[in-house]
Chains A and B, each alone.
Chain A
């Protein structure tokens, strides 16, 4: 097999539920050994896409080839090489951590010695080795997800599909989680992840922005940031809402995003806009401590790209 060829290739995927198209002509490829992120608002079709890739939901039309296997016509063959972690906790709450791991290891026919070694390593890495005999139902949200990941990794998948694995997970567990993912990438495992956290999206090699069942943009986080039309200004102010009210509709202002300590503004030309906006805020009597050009975060980029899509539609 050609190592440079994409490991996942999805073409013109469509899935309709009743009258709505959850996924509408989706095409993308995932390269071997990368972390590929699917991001987008709720209902964009992320979970449906993941389920089709995992072979648990047949698409209406389109093709999916995973490592040379046609997952649409031969889903069972694909399942040998794919590990899928659904959004909803899918393990047995009335089984212990060890029993769950053993169950999945047996289903994938992992030798007992290998299973023990992997379980040990993965549970240690996620700080869970002392909870091995605890019932899964009594674990915290973060630990449940780490157990899910451990079960998904107890065999050697070529591709790991993670559907919002860190939703509802505390920051410490999230950090553990990502550390494990990076480790996997080094071992050559390809990871597809959906997330609602855009700071996590920046950790991916490439991102696809989904909206209403279509991919709007698909690129590296850096390239995506460059695609953002205009530039980003950061206005620091204790009264973000008032700032927004004062500058919305000003010439050259395309997007205003509220953040904790002020607002982020997407403008056409920062050089003319900085003084103009300063004047406008002073006229309105809104307190602010500074206006500077800023590096856009992925969140700024997506909100701005999504807004533009909304305008053109």
Chain B
């Protein structure tokens, strides 16, 4: 490998990037639009879920229960209905995600037997929201029950010391408030890197073919490996700039805490960029049209990274077969790495396993790409 030829390719590539302001703009603006669009768009937190109530009793006790719902930040009572059909229609029209029905004998049963059922109807079309809403609704009712119990004991003249012999005092580490944004946005940085990285380099060789410059290039003594590194180097720099934008937006705009060190982030990001850039380059070598190569690049980066990298959907909960497939996906390793750096402040030693996987990936893709480029027109 001759450094001089590698440098000549890199300089040529930089000049071409610089003289094509349109693609340069895309490379630099895409992280902004994607970060803001997806950063705001993807939010798994449940806040102010619209609730319908059907209070068939209308007593002091039943209204007090509903006040508890109203007081919770997770729910917002949007409508009080007077009949079942109205309630069904509210669910059907998705005006509410949760309906609370209080039976007509609520107070009576509570006073006589000490227990009374409350019905919660959930819109299961969004199972994730329904699950979370159910948990919060149960918690609201439970806390109200505890109030009622305390009152009752009080009236009996008994002092309440400790009803529960045991209780769990839980504390969540690394993302104390369980803000979904804090774990989604670091993963989003990985998704955007994968998308842009492969897009940038997917055009490099196919452009030479389309513009007719490849024939002359293959007639020179340039080696495939010089061509590859020469073409990847400028895009790595562009990738660094994009990564800096994304991390800047994540921390400064969205306020995601950053616990790790910039050095760890820089080294692992460079490794990940190497993987995606060489993947795009490999596609560019294999597919001789710019449109074709960039379409395939989109297909092999965006889709699997969004769905299978664990950026939103937890890998642990995937079926065994799919879970096995994710091991082939380079981005799952970087999603793990970047979340750990952001939220846990992990260093290189804690991240050794995913880092090794990425190194293996990078070497394999580069070997393939260097071999796939045959210096012939055949």
Q: Do residues A99 and B12 form an inter-chain contact, with CB atoms below 8 A?
A: yes
Q: Do residues A106 and B216 form an inter-chain contact, with CB atoms below 8 A?
A: no
A226 CB to nearest chain B CB (Å)? 37
Given contacts A56-B215, A57-B378, A89-B212, contact A106 B4 (CB under 8 A): yes
Given contacts A92-B16, A93-B211, contact A82 B7 (CB under 8 A): no
Q: Do residues B2 and A55 form an inter-chain contact, with CB atoms below 8 A?
A: no
Could you say which residues of chain B place their CB within 8 Å of the CB of A79? Answer: 219-221
Q: Do residues B4 and A51 form an inter-chain contact, with CB atoms below 8 A?
A: no
B171 CB to nearest chain A CB (Å)? 59
For A80-95 the 0/1 string (1 means CB < 8 A from B) is 1010111011111111
A51 to B216, CA, bound (A): 10
B18 CB to nearest chain A CB (Å)? 9
For chain A, give the interface size range. 20 to 34
Tell me how many residues of B have a C-beta within 8 Å of chain A.
Answer: 28
Could you say which residues of chain B place their CB within 8 Å of the CB of A106? Answer: 4-5, 7-8
Could you say which residues of chain B place their CB within 8 Å of the CB of A89? Answer: 212
A82 to B218, CA, bound (A): 12
Given contacts A76-B375, A103-B12, contact A54 B7 (CB under 8 A): no
A300 CB to nearest chain B CB (Å)? 34
Counting CB contacts under 8 A, is B316 at the interface?
A: no
Could you say which residues of chain B place their CB within 8 Å of the CB of A94? Answer: 15-16, 19-20
Counting CB contacts under 8 A, is B298 at the interface?
A: no
Q: Beyond A54-B219, A107-B8, list 20 extra A-B contacts (CB 8 Å).
A: A51-B215, A51-B377, A55-B219, A57-B378, A76-B221, A82-B219, A86-B216, A88-B212, A90-B212, A90-B214, A90-B216, A91-B213, A92-B213, A94-B16, A94-B20, A95-B12, A99-B15, A104-B220, A106-B5, A107-B222
Q: Which residues of A contact B (CB under 8 A)?
A: 51, 54-58, 75-76, 79-80, 82, 84-86, 88-95, 99, 102-104, 106-109
14 A-B residue pairs with CB within 8 Å: A54-B219, A56-B375, A57-B378, A58-B378, A76-B221, A84-B219, A86-B215, A86-B216, A91-B213, A92-B211, A94-B19, A94-B20, A102-B8, A109-B4
Q: Which residues of B contact A (CB under 8 A)?
A: 2, 4-5, 7-8, 11-12, 15-16, 19-20, 211-223, 375-378
